[in-house]
Amino acid sequence: MTKGKIIFLSKSLIETKILPKLDPSCISPCTGIKAVVGKINDNPTSINIPPPRLSAVDIKHVKKLKKINPGLIYCSMTGFGKTGPKSQHPAYDSVIQAFSGLMELNGIKSTGPLRVGPAVVDYGTGIHAAFAISSALYRRQITGKGIEIDVSMLDAALMLMTSTVSETIATGISKPNYGNDHPDYAGYGTFKTSDRDLVIGAFTKKQTQNLFKALKLENISHEVALMSKKQLKKNRAATTRAGRETS
């Protein structure tokens, strides 16, 4: 395996190995780059640097680092990416959830947008970075070359909403917020019963038919059997209402 170093730069604290003598303030356009590299061993290293100084590191030092060590794998994590009008803005999970539209999709009309409880964007960004670095390590084994990786929290958030984002881009129509329901499928949602909420995942046409059979609504099950997928989506509201009245 070709030896090389990994420098993992982020705008938020990441619990990996942080060298005790390597302070983010020591990395500036004036810093001797060999002195910085000399403090980083062959293990992955995480350095927390806010956006303005991170940009300075990217512009001034990455090429120099690559010359010193061609096997360098450099991964930067930012909120909004390294370019664009918001590139210098700090970000947290809740900020990206709001900016990306994730909170809007998660909410309902009566409450408005709702934040997803766990910090899913933080976790998703970390997974993206880990997978990218793992791929880069494999690539380095074959080629001996390092690579520069750019991961943003906003990119990760949009990935987590891939089907919705791609449909919105294709149609120009944003999905409304349905909360625990599905915007297209009647049998895929949360239904109130006499003593508790019940979550049902009848996603396919056959599953929806079987659901109404189980609810002893044979007539609706027969209607579903005669509908196309497009008709099922169009009649989602009426079909959902029938299921709720039964439950």
Residue 182: active-site member? yes
Residue 143: other Cβ atoms inside 10 A:
12
Interstrand relation of 147-152 and 73-78 (parallel, antiparallel or unpaired): parallel
Instruction: Quote the CA–CA distance of 94 and 106 in Å, as a whole number.
Output: 13
Instruction: Quote the CA–CA distance of 95 and 182 in Å, as a whole number.
Output: 25
Phi-psi sector, 144: left (phi>0), alpha (psi -120 to 50), beta: left
Interstrand relation of 197-201 and 188-192 (parallel, antiparallel or unpaired): antiparallel
Instruction: Quote the CA–CA distance of 144 and 136 in Å, as a whole number.
Output: 10
Positive or negative, the Cα torsion across 109, 110, 111, 114?
A: negative
Identified catalytic residue from 61, 89, 182, 222:
182
Q: Please, what is the Cα angle at 146 between 144 and 149, to 5 degrees?
A: 150
Instruction: Quote the CA–CA distance of 153 and 141 in Å, as a whole number.
Output: 28
Positive or negative, the Cα torsion across 51, 98, 14, 144?
A: negative
Q: Which residues are catalytic?
A: 182
